[in-house]
Amino acid sequence: MYFARLDLEKKFQLSVVLPLVFCTFICLFYRGVQSHAHLVFSQLFTENYLLAKLFFQEQLPLSDFMIYSLPEGLWVFSLSLLGSKFYLDMGERPYNLCHLAIAFATGLECLQYFHVTDGTFDILDLGASLFFWLLALFIIEENRVLWKARPISDFRFAIFFLAFGAVYFSETL
């Protein structure tokens, strides 16, 4: 009910931030110890972090899909929505950055498939990414006339760039 009363910009912000918060929670409390996020948090919060991690894993067990595939799909969803706010000026036609997230996720999975980078290729990761990208495209198309796209020279582009950094932060070493 509360969500329906929010203006479009607040809905957009929540649609971007809430999935990112959920993904961060999953990465911090359910993924392995060999991630950048785990290393930073274990150094900052030492025993309290490890106790909290054990608590969440025992009290709220999640499936492998929710731990490993769903976060990638939600990253793609959030970054696609956020990317829809920016474009690259490429001559006659500006290129909207809503497609950058799916290209990044697909490229990363391909690199994992060919063992060029760490990680395990998973078709479910690709499926989750594709599903959430299509969902984001539907939302973008439904609201296109209401959203104002900005060039990447806009200072807000730094937020988009930092969100991609967060994906790297959640990956394993």
Kind and range of the H or E element at 22? helix 8-29
**Number of domains the chain contains:** 1
62: pLDDT strictly greater than 90: yes
Residues of the domain holding 56? 8-170
The Cα diameter of the chain in Å comes to: 56
Phi, psi of 13 (to 5 degrees): -60, -45
User: Is residue 3 included in any domain, yes or no?
Assistant: no
User: Is residue 2 included in any domain, yes or no?
Assistant: no
User: Is residue 1 included in any domain, yes or no?
Assistant: no
172: pLDDT strictly greater than 70: no
Alpha-carbon span 146 to 148, nearest angstrom: 7
User: Is residue 125 included in any domain, yes or no?
Assistant: yes
User: Is residue 162 included in any domain, yes or no?
Assistant: yes
Sign, CA dihedral 65-102-153-139, equals negative
User: Is residue 36 included in any domain, yes or no?
Assistant: yes
Q: What is the tens place of the pLDDT at every residue in 81-111?
A: 988 888 887 778 778 889 999 999 999 899 9
- Strands laid side by side in the 150-151 sheet: 93-96, 86-90, 150-151
Task: Give the SS3 label for residue 99.
Answer: helix
pLDDT of amino acid 19: 93
Q: What is the tens place of the pLDDT at every residue in 109-159?
A: 999 999 998 788 999 999 999 999 999 999 988 877 556 667 777 777 777
1: pLDDT strictly greater than 60: no
- The rounded percent of the chain whose pLDDT value lies above 90 is 39
User: Is residue 147 included in any domain, yes or no?
Assistant: yes
Q: What is the tens place of the pLDDT at every residue in 15-48?
A: 988 998 898 899 888 987 777 777 777 777 777 8
pTM for this entry: 0.85
Q: Are 82 and 14 in contact (CB under 8 A)?
A: no
